[in-house]
Amino acid sequence: MDRQVAMQGRGLVETATAAPRLSSAARRRQLREKVIAGIITAVAFTGIAALVLIMVFIAKEALALFLDAHAREEASLDKMFLPQVVRKGRPPAFVWQPVSGVPKVSMIPLFIGTLKTTLVSMMVAVPVGVAGALYVAEFAPRRLREVLKPVIELLAGIPSVVLGFFALMILATFMQENFGLTTRLNAVVAGLGLALAIVPVIFTVSEDALTAVPRSYREASLALGATPWETAWKVVLPAAAPGILAACVLGFGRAIGETMIVLMASGNAAIVSWNFADSVRSMSATIAAEMGEVVVGSPHYSLLFFIGVELFIFTFILNMVASTWARRVLERLTGAGA
């Protein structure tokens, strides 16, 4: 509808400017219009350029790992991803200790650390975020709904360093006192802190998907004798499922890349274990903690950029998946509603 009007508007411009004989003033004006349109189009490339430059320049700094002989020796792919014999007579292990006489550069402890904090945060944030969205979209009275939405979105406005502070000062103490965890800062505390950061993301995107479901779906279900809960659970939720999945994937991406919360509340010890009460060191926190002291151009420096490349690729894939799903639910629902 809008687009048609817009096209008509453009048609107007073209017929007006395509008049045969033009005065020099008109021609100058036409030229000026072209230049302005050109400038605006050129500026629009900035977004694409930024994304490409991010890719190129992070990859460029990481590339030394594969090109430079010294770096290739110190941090080969084998050393990053396969177990290494750290001390003679011990079984091979995964160790991250890039600053030592013999640097040990296994990525596995960092992967495990990231996975552990992310898992904890998802296990908390997905049920809470989706259930909250379901309540606000389906059950809440209109008044309450108009209060709840902005309040929950306010949570998204809290800087992550403040959430990290909260996890470090309050959550950690609370968990230690009530659950008797031996290490104060661990994967659970960091994961709960992360959950605070991604709940608003999951809530907002899920709520959008739920409200996009046409009213006729609900009316049909209720008319057939279903209770409001059955309508929400068996009709509205399945219809919005791809959007809700997209919300979870987006939240997952945010949790992987989030830095300050994990840096402050995870303890930052690169331990390989599946115990969630151990300290962990995530990929993002490793970059943040070690980049300050690293020698520019050293293998360690390239290694940190390589972690950045991995983070970029993970989140890029997750974002693409999420946006495809979110688009699909919109297309399906608007298509079915029309």
Partner 1 sequence: MKHTIRWALGGALTTLTGLAALLIVAMLAIILLDVLRGGAGHVTWTFLSEPPSDGMMGGGIFPALYGTAALTLLMTLAVMPVGVLTAVYLHEYAPPGSRLAAAVRVAVSNLAGVPSIVFGLFGLGFFIHFVGGSMDRLLGYQELHWAQPGILWASLTLAVLTLPVVIVSTEEALRAVPMDHRTASLALGATRSQTLARVVLPGALPGILTGAVLAVSRGAGEVAPILFTGAAYFLPDLPHTLNSQFMHLGYHTYVLATQSPDVEATQPLLYATVLVLLALTFALNLVAVLIRAHTRRRAAAAH
> Alpha-carbon distance 193 to 161, whole Å?
10
Least gap, CB of 225 to partner 1 (angstroms): 9
Decide: helix, strand or coil at residue 48.
helix
Least gap, CB of 115 to partner 1 (angstroms): 15
Least gap, CB of 136 to partner 1 (angstroms): 6
Q: Are 144 and 312 in contact (CB under 8 A)?
A: no
Tokens coding 224: 């057939």
Look at the alpha carbons of 320, 336, 130, 144 in this order and tell me if their dihedral is positive or negative: positive
Tokens coding 230: 């059955």
Phi-psi category of residue 275: left, alpha or beta, with phi > 0 → left and psi -120 to 50 → alpha: beta
Indicate the residue among 162 and 336 with the shorter CB distance to partner 1. 162
Indicate the residue among 3 and 90 with the shorter CB distance to partner 1. 3
Indicate the residue among 138 and 208 with the shorter CB distance to partner 1. 138
> Alpha-carbon distance 122 to 269, whole Å?
22
Least gap, CB of 125 to partner 1 (angstroms): 10
CA 321 to chain centre: 12
Indicate the residue among 6 and 85 with the shorter CB distance to partner 1. 6
Q: Are 188 and 276 in contact (CB under 8 A)?
A: yes
Indicate the residue among 26 and 220 with the shorter CB distance to partner 1. 26
> Alpha-carbon distance 109 to 271, whole Å?
6
Decide: helix, strand or coil at residue 142.
helix
Indicate the residue among 33 and 78 with the shorter CB distance to partner 1. 33
Least gap, CB of 303 to partner 1 (angstroms): 12
Least gap, CB of 90 to partner 1 (angstroms): 33
